[in-house]
Structure 1
Amino acid sequence: MTQHVRDIMTSRLVTVEPQASVTAVAQRMRDEDIGAVLVIEDDELRGLVSDRDLVVRALAEGGDLEQRTVASACSGDLITVTPDEDLDRAVELMREHSVRRLPVLEEGHPVGIVSLGDMAIERDAESALGGISAARPNQ
């Protein structure tokens, strides 16, 4: 049976506005225990920012992180999928574009996110990546 993105995506979205400070976004990620948030403006997806983006594009650049907005640290050229997309296609897109997360859009609006970890748990829970992804987070 063909599986679709909607079968494994995370539909509980954590979003921020582009003008949010990178410090506030990092704190939100910590509080929500997540590694990425969607950047939304007027109910439209503007970007995705990961914990790695915050380090490489904001922290490493220096300066006042309270003044730097998440818009300067997020990935704006996003590869997206729909909830009805086959999981095989989502894996293909991740591989082709070297991304770990795909925002899920329905009629142009964000409804979820699917990650490499989600795929690993679904496809091979016994693999190292599947086991790590399924484990409780260390806090």
Structure 2
Amino acid sequence: MKVREVMTNNVRSMFNNSSIKDVATEMKILNVGSIPITSRDNRAVGIVTDRDIVIRSLTGQGDVNSPISSIMTSELISVSPDTDIHEAARLMAEKQVRRLPVVENGNLVGIVSLGDLAVRDVYANEAGDALSNISLPDRNMR
């Protein structure tokens, strides 16, 4: 099974020059914990989590009016729509992330989460293993 079969297609992203406050407000409205960050031409350039906003902006890396690019994770770990979901789960576990932007030709086309993998009974064990690895003590403050 491929990522394209389980990913969320209608994913909301924010521009890299959006303010931290605007991104946090969008997260609240959408009730999500992360938002992919794109350039104006829909190129995936990063991702920001609610944890990034709290830890990075409240510890002096940016105030609420700073651009999100000042605190986002710019080393984007992503997959293509044609990635096998076993590989996506393995990557999530290895990189200790719960969500992967889905990128095709540099453009954001979706997002896949551990929850997307877990709802498929056949992949529940793999998603559980990935979550176990992700939930280990965070050595790198991702």
Normalising by the residue count of structure 2, what TM-score does the alignment of the two structures yield? 0.79
Residue 24 of structure 1 is matched in structure 2 by 22
Shift of 1:63: 6.0
Identity between Structure 1 and Structure 2 (%): 40
> Which residue in 2 is equivalent to 1:124?
124
Q: CA deviation at 1:116?
A: 1.6
CA deviation map 1:13-36 (0-9, x unaligned): 111111111111100010111111
Q: 1:64 to 1:98 in 2, by over 3 A?
A: closer
SS at match of 2:119: helix
Q: Provide the rounded CA distance (Å) in 2 between the counterparts of 1:63 and 1:48.
A: 16
- In structure 2, stretches of 5+ residues that fail to align are 132-142
Q: Structure 1's 23 and 120: CA in aligned 2 closer, same or farther, altered over 3 A?
A: same
TM-score with structure 1 setting the length: 0.81
CA distance in 2, matches of 1:62, 1:4: 38
- Provide the rounded CA distance (Å) in 1 between the counterparts of 2:43 and 2:89: 24
Task: Compute the displacement of 1:124 (Å).
Answer: 2.8
CA RMSD of aligned residues (A): 1.9
Q: Which amino acid aligns with 2:91?
A: L
Q: Which residue of 2 aligns with 1:39?
A: 37
Q: Which amino acid aligns with 1:60?
A: T
Aligned residues: 124
Alignment of 1:1-139 (within 5 A): 3-41=1-39, 42-61=41-60, 64-66=63-65, 68-122=66-120, 123-124=123-124
Distance 2:58 2:31 in 1: 19
